[in-house]
Amino acid sequence: MTKTPWDNGLVIFRIEGLGPPNAAISMTDHVTSNGAVSEFARIGVRNITISIKPTEAPTIEITRQRIYKYFQIAKPVTLEIDTDTRKVYATGEVESVDATIFHSQTTVIISILCADPLLYSQTISQSTFFGVEPRFEFPFSNESLEEKLIEFGDIQITTRSDAYYEGDVDIGFDISMQAFGRVENVAIYNANSLEKMAINTDRIRQMTGRELNAGDQILISTTRGNRHITLLRDGHRINIISAIERRANWFQLTPGHNVFAFTADVGQHELIMILSFKNAFGGI
């Protein structure tokens, strides 16, 4: 038997703050002409408020105290929102839990502040360069005992791939580059915008005492506020941000098709690159 909100005592009758949050825009008036010039624009903090009516399950007081336990002041919380077209989540911190106690209609209003104002899909999408495409499916039949008729996989040697992004706001993403041999001077390109990020492997050798070789993994994040490039070698993480060439572009995914490619002076086919991202939305 499916339980209803009345069974668990938490009846939500209003949720606000799930639409696109307000933007903070700074403008300076022109001195000698009409209008103004925009200096910057950014998305503000998301404020989600949840209005709950506690019910007798078993008593209103016990249900209200259960809410205090679930939503502790100044503690992090994750909200999952499932609609007909989107399944997303938001993370934030509990700002306040305002309860009307001695009242004929007891209510609890919870305020959550989300430093990251975006809503994210709960699944991670990936785009792989130089990987294995699955071929083996059931049911199957091998009509010959001599010829190789069944393909379990097909090795795809490609340095170009399309990352299809279904979100509605531009976001950063993660790049993983795994080396299976000696590699020198890697460059990543956005074929749509012609942006470029180049990695100087000579600087990696100077910093670590060893060139980029089999077993090494480069991890890059282009997410604003969390940009970094790390070398994972023998279980140790090494900051190699200085190996990025000057004027490098920190790529962002835009809604729709995003075509990326990579090259290397040596060992281009000794690399596997994977782009990982979540779809991000301004609201539901």
Q: Are 183 and 266 in contact (CB under 8 A)?
A: yes
Answer whether residue 143 is part of any domain.
no
Contact in structure between 42 and 23 (CB atoms under 8 Å): yes
- Residues of the chain with pLDDT below 70 are 1-3, 130-158
Indicate whether 159 and 266 sit together in one domain: yes
pLDDT at residue number 111: 97
Q: Which amino acid is at 143?
A: E
The residue out of 63, 91, 117 marking a domain boundary is 117
CB 130 within 8 A of CB 62: no
Domain boundary, last residue among 61, 88, 117: 117
Residue 166 lies in domain: 125-134+154-281
Do 76 and 194 lie in a common domain?
Answer: no
What pLDDT does residue 178 have? Answer: 93
Residue 140 falls inside a structural domain: no
pLDDT of residue 149: 56
Give pLDDT, residue 151.
56
What pLDDT, on a 0 to 100 scale, did the predictor assign at position 160?
85
Quote the number of domains for the chain: 2
The tokens for 67 are 């809410």
User: Do 167 and 201 share a domain, yes or no?
Assistant: yes
Position 132 scores a pLDDT of 47
Cα angle for residues 151, 152, 157 (degrees, 5° grid): 85
pLDDT at 183: 93
Residues 104 and 130 in one domain: no
Considering the domain architecture, whether residues 129 and 97 belong to the same structural domain is answered as no
Residue 260 CB coordination number (10 Å) = 24
Whole-angstrom distance, CA of residue 277 vs CA of residue 168: 13
